[in-house]
Amino acid sequence: MKPSASDRAPLWSRSYLLVMAANFAVLTAISMLMSTLPLYAKDIGGSNAVSGLVVGIYAFSSLLCRPFIGVLLDAKGRRGVLLAGGSILLVVFLSYHLAASITALLVIRVLQGAGFSAHSTSAGTIIADVVPRSRLTEGIGYYGITVTLPTAFGPTLGLYLIKEYGYGVLFNSASTITAIGLLLAMFINYENSGTRASDRAAIRKDNVFFERSALLPGLVMFCITLGLGGIITFLPQFAAERGIDGIGSYFTVYACALLASRLFSGRLADRAGLAWVVYPGVGLLTVSYVILAYAPTLSVSLLSAVMFGLGFGSVQPAMNAVVIRGVQPERKGAASAVFNAAMDSGMGIGSMVWGVMSQYLGFTSVYLACAGCAAMSIIIYLSLQAVSRNQPGESRLHPSHRQR
């Protein structure tokens, strides 16, 4: 079938590429700290529960900031918020040199959550602005690669740096990479000047902080990221407990699988409908947790990583596209904030719950519970399908179909 003009709409604009490059740099720095800071917390006297709190308080800080960031994006514009977020993160990474106690570490993590909230929400909103609507899932999927690739080598690089050189080099490296991302962001010439006064008045009649249309897609990702918190926070400790060496390669394999899924899942979703990627994706996620729960060796763990990457890489950009399709342009910032807040909540709650659970029931029970959370997302997606069928106009779940 010959592609339509809308299918050939230009995707790779200068702003699109610069945002992806800046996001890639910043998230590389963040990924380097994902699995190393829980270890750092234990080194300065923390337990598994404290390690979970180190991740959880960061996620909740980001969560609490999201609504205010969304309002700023819609009212004032995107680029300034992006630069502010990158600047906060640069200061935070330099400040880790001063985190000699659990209390200091938690305070800095709160600030990192605020910076991450500003940077990630603004970057995602810019992408939603500049990607052609007809290629939305595809464009978000490619952008998602800049979120995923850092997890391929970031945690492994971070673990290598602390093993060979110590935490000081880790913090300096994260700061340098963040500075590069901030410099790239300065060259973005795209700007959304904010919402017009008439549109802001209309928004105030509803709820300036909360965009209802993003709730169900966000809840789907909440269930999925509950389990993701268990992997990012506790995989190194899980591997040490079972005597599995080289577990850092889990993140590399996961990211390669996720990258592979995003090369085709976005196009498939845009043309055939989201069900073709969501149901298989959730199935793969659920099975991946079960495999990991009983994994006795590195090879079995890596099989779980392949399935997890394929599943997450299919579901997350699909849900993100649903959010953007279902909202007015002047509410993209608020919608992105709600969607990302749901994922922050999943990561934060999951990290803390699994930290306590691992101390009493062990990691097998933790990852089986993660599988149950992933399976629950199907129930929410079914509700999303029912809502979409009752909406007039373009279907959010199958953009090529019109409701009759």
pLDDT of residue 224: 93
Query: Who wins on pLDDT, 98 or 265?
Result: 98
pLDDT of residue 19: 93
What is the C-alpha end-to-end distance of the chain, expressed in Å? 24
- Under the banding of pLDDT at 50, 70 and 90, the label for residue 190 is low
Cα 13–129–273 angle (5° rounding)? 95
Model pLDDT for residues 22-39, shown as the tens digit of each residue: 999 999 999 899 878 888
Closest CA to 313 of 151, 156, 148: 148
- Under the banding of pLDDT at 50, 70 and 90, the label for residue 223 is very high
Model pLDDT for residues 122-174, shown as the tens digit of each residue: 998 888 888 887 777 778 778 877 877 787 788 888 988 998 999 999 999 99
pLDDT of residue 199: 47
Model pLDDT for residues 236-250, shown as the tens digit of each residue: 889 989 999 888 789
Q: Which of 21-25, 210-214, 303-307, 335-339 has the lowest mean pLDDT?
A: 210-214
**pTM recorded for the entire structure:** 0.71
Answer whether residue 279 shows pLDDT above 80: yes
Q: Which of 72-86, 247-261, 317-331, 389-403 has the lowest mean pLDDT?
A: 389-403
pLDDT of residue 203: 42
Q: Which of 74-78, 89-93, 345-349, 352-356 has the lowest mean pLDDT?
A: 74-78
Average pLDDT over residues 109-117: 94
Residue 101 is given by DSSP the state S
pLDDT of residue 265: 77
For 402, the 3-state DSSP assignment is strand
Domain parsing of the chain, residue ranges: 14-191+208-389
pLDDT of residue 8: 55
Residue 234 neighbours by CB under 8 Å, 6+ apart: 38, 48, 51, 52, 354, 355, 358, 363, 366
pLDDT of residue 10: 75
On whether the 14-191+208-389 domain is CATH 1.25.40.10, my answer is: no
Q: Report the distance separating Cα 313 and Cα 39, nearest Å.
A: 27
pLDDT of residue 138: 77
In degrees and rounded to multiples of 5, residue 243 shows phi and psi of 70, 30
pLDDT of residue 1: 42
pLDDT of residue 297: 94
Q: Report the distance separating Cα 303 and Cα 314, nearest Å.
A: 17
